[in-house]
Amino acid sequence: MTLAFYLDKGASLGPDAPCMTLHGESMTYGEVVALSHSVAKALRRSGVEPGQKVGILSANHPTSFACVFGIARAGAVWCPINPRNTARENADLLDLFDCTTLIYQPVFDALVGQIAPQLSKLVALVRIGEGDDVATGFADWLAAADADVSVDVIPVDDVVALVGTGGTTGRPKGVMLTDRNLQTMTAVVLMRYPFDGRPRYLALAPLTHAAGVLCFPIMSLGGEIVVMDHPDVGEFLELVETHRITHTFLPPTLIYMALAHQSLNNTDLESLQCFWYGAAPMSTTRLAEALDRIGPMAQLFGQSEAPMMISTLSPAQHRRPDGSIDHARLSSAGTPSPLVTVAILDDNGAAVPAGARGEVCVRGPLVMAGYYKNPEATAEASAHGWHHTGDIGFLDDDGFLYIVDRAKDMIITGGFNVYSAEVEQALMAHDAVRDCAVIGLPDEKWGERVTAVVLLHDGASVDTDEVVRFVKDRVGSVKAPKQIEVWSDLPRSTVGKILKTDIRATLTGT
């Protein structure tokens, strides 16, 4: 089995049904299947052997995503390259992954021109458009393929994708994802979330990340994927209404923007069956608002090494049996997925009792094969026979998982452990605060002082002393910020996560 299975399954339910739609124009399942076969044959004609790595550098686009299935049919490994990364980051990834082929959109000509000379392992550059002095044009590349080449090759060692992670803290690592990992992820999605009829999925978030792998379960049901090639929350809301979208995914930052958008109250969202959120912690205050104003929300908790489905909070789990919002559950990451085992371990690898905090660790077929060419990092992440997520959390008596912080983000102030996520939740309950980040900064008296950087709603202003009192009333004086900074923006990664390392560097001048 390869990643092409999901596409082929959808085509078996109706080859003339719309598969991927952009700007109102659709490619049918039959057309995407045909294109994927052509891409696979062109890859083999270019000398790509099973197990070799092929990068795709593209914004969200049906043709680019169809190439993923061509890579799979050739038995090669899909390497999603995020165009929002810097040239240096992408050059590092392509070199680390040993990519022999790069398929890219013309809009990234300048970026490819910067990085291609540094990549001695690249033997083929394919431009999705006309060819130029650097790359072969897409149509010419497909036309030169040998029609008799055998495709649908079983992946080598079951590895189907290499995903970069950790680039914000040093040289990135390559997560080796297997077909089994993504089968497991897909199975959990289909088990845990509502699907009534053929789904219609709106992809605004990058297809190089969570939004992309969520396409696999959608395709297995013969659903339509409506693609957005640029971030626009107003257009997103319009597309939900006009395409009668049933499923979508956004990180919390974009959900906050949707809640603040002037057209939200006038948008018909009745078609939504499941609005997934994840990739970063979400304010429980904003989540409750989204449940009232948007509809059925569903949380995904995972990471590149165990994609998407370590635990899930389904739409039903956000509410009590009487239909009212279960506010106590909103801060949880749901319950461990059916095909995943979760334990909370101490530093010695021993399980801690319910309610006690420790590192969230995972076992099961969702967990990666390891880090590419990095046995030391693989061994560290799999100590004691568990995959270590790096998240601090606990399981309650009902089996719900709560993530309280990243291990590296815990603040030790005056001898007490303070989890930044808990302080951030308190700050986000303030009416003026749109988003925030909490870090620890060196302090002669406290060791580290709790420091908050806040982003305010448009037109809002705050008295920082009043905000400190507001937080103190909710989480106590030890956890309340000793310093509050009001910024006009927060530094973010390419997938919208707040970069606390950048905040710390700005505030310390290092």
C-alpha triplet 153, 32, 98: angle, nearest 5°: 45
**What are the pLDDT digits (tens) for 249-293?**
998 888 989 999 999 999 999 999 999 998 777 889 999 999 999
Q: Which amino acid, one-letter code, is at 296?
A: P
* pTM, entire model: 0.86
Which residues in the chain are classed under CATH 3.30.300.30?
A: 410-508
What is the token pair recorded at 136? 């072969």
Question: Which pLDDT does position 169 carry in this prediction?
Answer: 45
**What are the pLDDT digits (tens) for 358-379?**
999 999 999 999 999 999 999 9
CA gap 53, 96 in Å, rounded: 10
SS3 365: coil
Burial 369-404 (b: 16+ CB within 10 A, else e): bbbbebeeebeebbeeebbbbebbbbbeeeebbbbb
**What are the pLDDT digits (tens) for 376-427?**
999 999 999 999 999 999 999 999 999 988 777 889 887 778 888 889 999 9
Q: List Cβ neighbours of 309 (8 Å cut-off, separation of 6 or more).
A: 184, 185, 188, 189, 192, 300, 302, 337, 339, 340, 366
Question: Which pLDDT does position 85 carry in this prediction?
Answer: 79
**What are the pLDDT digits (tens) for 334-350?**
999 999 999 999 999 99
Nearest to 66 by CA among 3, 130, 109: 3
Rounded to the nearest 10°, the torsion over CA 314, 226, 253, 207 is 90
pLDDT over 70 for what percent of the chain?
98
Nearest to 358 by CA among 403, 415, 398: 403
Distance, CA of 377 to chain centre: 21
The answer on pLDDT for 167 being more than 60 is no
What is the token pair recorded at 3? 């990643």
| Residue 82 banded pLDDT, cuts 50, 70, 90 | confident
What is the token pair recorded at 41? 């044959």
**What are the pLDDT digits (tens) for 197-249?**
999 999 998 898 888 999 999 999 999 999 999 989 999 999 999 999 999 99
- Assign domain 20-166 to its CATH architecture: 3-Layer(aba) Sandwich (3.40)
DSSP code, position 457: P
**What are the pLDDT digits (tens) for 456-493?**
999 999 999 999 999 999 888 889 999 999 999 999 87
Which residues in the chain are classed under CATH 3.40.50.12780?
A: 20-166
Half-sphere exposure of residue 229, counting CA atoms within 13 Å on the CB side? 14
Dihedral pair phi/psi, residue 113, rounded to 5°: -60, -30
**Domain 410-508 adopts which CATH fold?**
GMP Synthetase; Chain A, domain 3 (3.30.300)
Question: Which pLDDT does position 166 carry in this prediction?
Answer: 61
